[in-house]
Every structure is written in structure tokens, then in C-alpha cells.
Amino acid sequence: MTEMHWLTDESMERKYAFSYLYAIDKRAYYREYLRYWRALQSDEYKRIISKCSKDYQQEHRLEYNAWRREYRKRKPVLNREIEKRRYQKHKEKRKQFIYAYMGKNKVAMARKARLMKAKRKERVLTYYGNGVCACTRCGFVDIRALTIDHINNNGNVQRKKTGCHGGEKMYRWLENNNFPKGYQTLCMNCQWIKRAEHLITQHLAGGMN
């Protein structure tokens, strides 16, 4: 095998492992990339590339994720098309991998899902609590008793329209739709008090008519 003295972790990390590091000088990167690509199709090359890539991503995960988000913002249409083609090409293989992974990591996946749901609920309640995860009426802060309230008492119309009947689906819908207006954070006590006040108001209005 031809000696590849330049294939060290440091040089590969600096020159070849991550294309995003060469975003400011793409010509130089692709010139070097094309120069060595055909000559270095060996198992050793692939092994070093994989090792450098994984090690660097673990050490610089925040910078790497920030770069990916920024790149996707600059070219949203192109990235959607690329992801769509990639998904269609590896659809079955990806499904098999996901099913196998979920089968081996049921407990970890369930724990992660619970954590994600709890964080989403906290984000939504904080937004509709005017920046504080608390009831907007009485200031109650225990998240276990906090809920989303329809300010205009039109929850039935909204549920028929979106198909969300509260809980996780409701929080996800609010976040995915950029937190629309017409909602507030209330505790269950204030929810029932508001409901009773609304019924009394309706009754009095009906009696007056």
C-alpha cells in the first residue's frame, strides 16, 4: 500500500474532513478534494476520515450545529430538495435502522421523548405566561397544574379546526404555528373560575333578554 504520511488526524481535520470549514474558500477546498479523491479510495482513508469527522463533531458540536443551521437558512429550497432525494434513495435502509435502534433503546427513547415533551410544554406556558411559567391571574407556578386557556372562550371552534384536544398535541400545534394570539396561561383553579364567570354572564345576559 502506498504510504500516506499526510493522512494524520491533524491534517485531515484541518484540510479534508469538514467541508464547512472551507466555506470561505470553496475553490481551494474542491481543488484539493478532486485531486486526492480518486487516488485515495482505500479502507485506511475512509477509516481516518470517519474517525476525524466523529471526533471533531463531538468536540465542536455546538459550532458544527450552528454552521448547519446557518447553511440551511441561506439555501432553504436547495436543502429541502437534497433532503427529499436523500430520503427517497435511502428510505428502506433508514426505516430498518430506525426500527432496529428503537428496539434496542426503548427505555432511552421513552425517556428522551418525555423530556422533549416537558421542555415543549414549559416553552409554550412560559410564552403565554408573559415570559414566566406561571398563571397570569394568580401567579401560581406549579407546572403540573398550569394549562393553556382560550381568551375568547372559543376552544370548541379551535379544536374542530385543528383537531387538537389539548395536551401534547396542543403545545406542538402552538409552537409550530409561531405562537398565535388568543391564548394565555392559567392554572386549573383560574380555569374553572373563569368558566363559572362566563356561564353566569351568559345566564344573566339570557335572563335580561
pLDDT score of 161 = 81
Residue indicated by cell numbers 403540573: 144
Q: What is the 3-state secondary structure (H, E, C) of 100-115?
A: HHHHHCHHHHHHHHHH
Cell 398563571 -> residue: 135
Q: What is the pTM of this model?
A: 0.55
Q: How far is CA 49 from the centre of its chain?
A: 28
The conformation of residue 166, written as its DSSP 8-state character, comes to: S
Please check whether residue 195 is in contact with residue 137, taking contact to mean a CB–CB distance below 8 angstroms: no
| 69-101 pLDDT, tens digit each | 787 777 777 777 877 888 888 888 888 988 898
What number of other Cβ atoms are within 10 A of residue 106's Cβ? Answer: 10
Q: What pLDDT, in 10s, does the model give residues 2-54?
A: 444 444 444 444 444 445 545 555 556 666 666 656 555 555 555 655 556 66
Separation CA 61–CA 31 (nearest Å): 27
Contact in structure between 4 and 44 (CB atoms under 8 Å):
yes
Q: To 5 degrees, how large is the angle CA 186–CA 180–CA 171?
A: 55
E runs forming strands in 93-194: 146-150, 183-187
Q: Which three cell numbers stand for residue 86?
A: 436523500
Q: At residue 67, what is the residue type?
A: W
Q: What percent of the chain has pLDDT over 70?
A: 69
Judged by DSSP in three states, 151 sits in coil
